[in-house]
Amino acid sequence: MAQMWSAAAFLMIIALLVHSAQAQGVNPKKALFVFGDSLVDPGNNNYIATIAKANFAPNGVDFPGGVPTGRFCNGRTVADVITQKLSLPFLPAYLDPNTRGPAILGGINYASAAGGILDGTGANYIGRLSMNTQIQYFQNTQQQFIQQLGPVAAKQVFANSLYFFVIGSNDYINNYLQPSSQTARQYSPKQYEAVLVNEFSRQLTALYNLGGRKFAIFNVGPLGCIPSQLANQRSPDGRCITFINDYVQGFNGALRQQLTVLTARFPGSTFVYGDAYSLVFDRVTNPGRYGLINVNSGCCGIGAFNGQLPCITGVSPCAARNQYLFWDPFHPTDAVNVQLGNAFYTGGSPVISPMNIQQLAALP
C-alpha cells in the first residue's frame, strides 16, 4: 500500500510541475539551450571564482530594471533578443541556484565569459566554463527534464528544441593571440583553425547524440576590429587589424564547411550558420547605414579606444549608447545586439543559411 501511494504521489508531483510550467507560459514540448562565451553569458560567471565578471554597474544600465545581471553589455545580449523574438522569457543561467524545477523547462543558458572551444582557453581569467563543461552541464539538465516530464516527453523536448552556439572568440583573444601563447608556438594559424573546428565538430556531434537536432551556430566576429585588439596592437588610426581578421575568416570558412558535412552525416539534423562576422564588419565600414557614430571605441572602458581595461564601477559610459557599436573593449551594445538578433531571426542568405531562426524554430 505504501509503495502504491509513493508512486501515485510521484505522478501527482510530476503533473503539478508540468502544470506549473504551463501556467508560467512555458511550452514543455520545446526549449532553447544557449552555449557560448561572454557575448551571451547571462550571469553564469557570477557564481564561479573568476576575474571575468560583469555583475556591477554601469553594466546593465539599459537592461530591464536598469540593474547589472552579469551580462557584458549595457542591455541585452543577442541571445536575449532572439529569446524575446521566440516569445520566451530570458533564459536562466545554469549556475543560478534558482535554475531548477519548472524554471528550466523553457531552456537554460550555459554560456560563460572567457570560455572557449578548447579547455585551456581563458586560463588567464582563472575560472570559466569551457564548451566541454557546458555540455556536461547540459547532460545534468537532461536528467532534470526526465525527472519532471518522464523519459518519452523529455526526449521529444530535446529533439524539438533549439541549440544556439556563440563560441570561438576566446580561443583567439584569450589563447592564440595571448603574449607567449603556447598554442601559437605549437600551431600555425591554419593548423590551429583545424584544431578548433575538429574539436567543435566533436562537441556538436556529442550534442546530436544526446538528442539535439536543430542547431544554430554563429561564427566569430571581426576580432581585429574590437577596441581591445585596436589597443593591444596599437592601431594608429582605429583601423581593423588585418592579420587577426584573416585568422578569424579562416576559422569561419572551415567551420561553415564542417557544418555542411555534419548536416549530411546526421539524419534529421539541421545546422544553421549565422554570419556574425559580416554583419559586424559591415557596421564597422558603413556605420551611418545603421545609425552608428562610433565603431572603434568602447562606450565604457579605459585607455586607448576604451579598450585597455573593461567597464568597471566608477567609469562613466558614453551618453549616446545606441550610437556605439561596442559597449566595452569586447562586446556590442544593446542597440547593435537588437540589429543582429533581428537579422538572424528573419534574415536570409548570406546573413544566415540555409534558413533563419524563425524558420528553424518552425521545423517539425
Q: How far is CA 219 from the centre of its chain?
A: 11
What is the rounded distance in angstroms from the CA atom of residue 8 to the CA atom of residue 1? 11
Would you state the pLDDT for residue 24? Answer: 42
- pTM here? 0.92
pLDDT reading at 64 higher than 70? yes
Domain boundaries, the chain: 27-223+242-280+338-362
pLDDT band at 29 (very low <50, low <70, confident <90, very high): confident
pLDDT reading at 61 higher than 60? yes
Task: Measure Cα distances from 265 to 165, 183, 254 in Å.
Answer: 19, 30, 17
CB distance 68 to 60 below 8 Å: yes
pLDDT in tens, 201-223: 999 999 999 999 999 999 999 99
Task: Measure Cα distances from 77 to 74, 82, 145 in Å.
Answer: 9, 9, 26
Highest CATH level, class, for 27-223+242-280+338-362: alpha beta
Does the annotation count 19 as an active-site position?
A: no
Average pLDDT of the residues in 159-185 = 97
Catalytic-role residue among 62, 80, 328, 334: 328
Q: Cell 545546422: give the residue.
A: 271
Average pLDDT, the chain: 93
Run of H or E including 34: strand 32-36
CB distance 199 to 191 below 8 Å: no
Run of H or E including 92: none
pLDDT band at 172 (very low <50, low <70, confident <90, very high): very high
Does the annotation count 38 as an active-site position?
A: yes
What is the rounded distance in angstroms from the CA atom of residue 15 to the CA atom of residue 345? 34
pLDDT in tens, 311-331: 999 999 999 999 999 999 999
Q: What is the DSSP string of 219-279?
A: ----GGGSHHHHHHTT-SSS---HHHHHHHHHHHHHHHHHHHHHHHHSTT-EEEEE-HHHH
Catalytic-role residue among 38, 112, 161, 228: 38
Would you state the pLDDT for residue 28? Answer: 64
Count Cβ neighbours within 10 Å for each residue of 7-40 and write b for 16 or more, e otherwise.
eeeeeeeeeebbeebeeeebebebbbbbbbbbbb
Does the annotation count 282 as an active-site position?
A: no
